[in-house]
Chain A
Amino acid sequence: GDSVTQMEGPVTLSEEAFLTINCTYTATGYPSLFWYVQYPGEGLQLLLKATKADDKGSNKGFEATYRKETTSFHLEKGSVQVSDSAVYFCALSGGSQGNLIFGKGTKLSVKP
């Protein structure tokens, strides 16, 4: 079945460092891909999305490109801030019921 694999955390970076969180997927068909962010004690918020191959999603300085040839959707940010500390989830729209299939999440901590 469809699945998402993302890099294990936790990831600890200093402020202004470059961030990459790897995400690869297995899916039949052509799913949409998403990154969600969960701040401490809160629900999940959509960070960015891409609906077809070569699309680039971007928001709040974060970017991810839908790479069909490598089945990847890696999240990047050029300069992280303390306020980016959160758990990041990669997901795809692969469920038979229209549900999202999530990776296990990557916890990011950014130190001043």
Chain B
Amino acid sequence: NAGVTQTPKFQVLKTGQSMTLQCAQDMNHNSMYWYRQDPGMGLRLIYYSASEGTTDKGEVPNGYNVSRLNKREFSLRLESAAPSQTSVYFCASRTGPGEGSYEQYFGPGTRLTVT
């Protein structure tokens, strides 16, 4: 039982390049989330998926797109990276919506630098 896994762990991009961050969970959770963590800002929600085939914008969605490929996988795509997207990205999952505890389980993070 690996929990939530993320790839890659580290990435350096040049401005304008694109990339996809991968996330997978093996806990049979319905809900999945993408957050970004910036110094002194806590974690902010980028996108959310309540179930396979559904996605919703969070607090800071601009410059990102997501895909909920199946129940296990939820990817985050940067189409044209900008230095402002330098951050640590976390994927998380939980049971729900509407069921169980609200606690979320987090992956180890992807540290992205855009130059």
- Chain A residues packing against B (C-beta within 8 Å): 4, 31-32, 34, 36, 42-46, 49, 51, 89, 93, 95, 97-100, 102-105
Contacts and interface: CB of A to CB of B under 8 A. Distances in A.
A95 B106 contact: no
B108 A42 contact: yes
Contact of B56 (A97, A100, A104): A97
Interface in B92-113: 92, 94, 96-97, 101-109
Contacts, number: 58
Counting chain B residues whose Cβ lies within 8 A of the other chain, the interface size class is: 20 to 34
B55 to A, nearest CB: 10
B106 A99 contact: no
Q: Is the interface of A mostly helix, strand, loop or mixed?
A: loop
A68 B97 CA distance: 25
29 contacts: A31-B102, A32-B101, A32-B102, A34-B102, A34-B103, A36-B106, A42-B109, A43-B90, A43-B108, A43-B109, A44-B43, A44-B90, A44-B92, A46-B105, A49-B101, A89-B42, A95-B45, A97-B45, A97-B56, A97-B58, A98-B31, A98-B48, A98-B94, A98-B97, A99-B45, A99-B104, A100-B104, A104-B40, A104-B41
A43 B109 CA distance: 6
A103 B42 contact: yes
Contacts of A95: 45
